[in-house]
Amino acid sequence: MQQFFRRSALAMLGGALMAPLYAVADRIPLGLDINRGIFVQEIWQARKPRLCVANRTGKDQTLLVSRWRSRAHPAEPLLQWPIEAGSTVCHKAGKLAGEALIEYRLADGGAALGLLHAPGAPATETLEGSGFASLMGINGTCPTPGTWTEQASLWIKGGQVASLDLLTTVGADGALLEFPVDTRLDLPLLKPRSAESSSLLIEHDGTRLAIKSRPDTVAATVHRVRLEFDVPEVKQPTMYLLSGRQRILQTGWQCFVRGILVEP
């Protein structure tokens, strides 16, 4: 597959979303169309992947997950997951790990959502533990190398204060992350109420939360930030959105999004 360029990936510059990745040669989309109302978050535990899927289409859906080889060959169905309207489901996805590209499609009418790379074993050593980690953004977008989230459980109980850990590697220009940032994703927003770190500087000004390096911050070291949230009560399993942006030395601002799972 030839060199990729950005056309409609869920990326943002200065808070504006851009569109999915497309291959130049055959215009095959890499990334899922955010306007279709289906949102997929990849989550790892002990080096084993799960896919959590939110259905915001307004009606019950069945998601077809298929092996995709080329435009000349029909996709081969591997899995199908029913999802109630407004709900979120999580499934183990180890069966997909050996594949290359995976096609996502709705069973009703066969609407194509797009393609994603199959879950590939990440190198992050923290995935050896019993916790859950997310290294990629919703619908396979917003890659932020050296920054990921970890949490003790897959689901957060609604109606309480909850937390997750944000881990980031400080580069030569220092760490800088900001929350929240507006997106066009049709998911309810979960805003951090506070943040705490023993090695980074936290600034909280009204609704804006910034994470920065300090003069004594050691570069190329992974730093841990504990984010706390007021989690609303929910009536069914729901995917919430953690949305921010991260300063990247080579490219400026890069979006940072994660799906946070809340259960009744």
**H helices, E strands: number in the chain:** 0, 23
**CB 136 within 8 Å of CB 42:** yes
Residue 145 has what pLDDT? 76
Residue 21 has what pLDDT? 40
20, burial (CB in 10 Å: exposed 0-12, middle 13-18, buried 19+): buried
Tokens of 140: 């396979």
Choose among 139, 116, 117: nearest CA to 35.
139
Residue 130 has what pLDDT? 74
Q: How far is CA 226 from the centre of its chain?
A: 18
Task: Check whether the bond before 232 is cis (ω within 30° of 0).
Answer: no
Residue 6 has what pLDDT? 29
Specify the pTM. Answer: 0.85
Residue 146 has what pLDDT? 82
**Side-chain half-sphere CA neighbours of 211 within 13 A:** 29
**Side-chain half-sphere CA neighbours of 146 within 13 A:** 19
Q: How far is CA 250 from the centre of its chain?
A: 22
Distance CA 142, CA 11 (A): 6
Which residue is listed with tokens 């600034």?
A: 203
Residue 39 has what pLDDT? 98
The three-class DSSP label of residue 28 is coil
Distance CA 142, CA 135 (A): 10
Distance CA 194, CA 141 (A): 26
Chunked mean pLDDT (size 10), the chain, 264 residues: 29 34 48 93 91 96 89 80 98 88 88 88 60 91 85 96 92 80 92 94 91 82 93 98 86 90 98
Report the first-to-last Cα separation within the chain, whole angstroms. Answer: 43
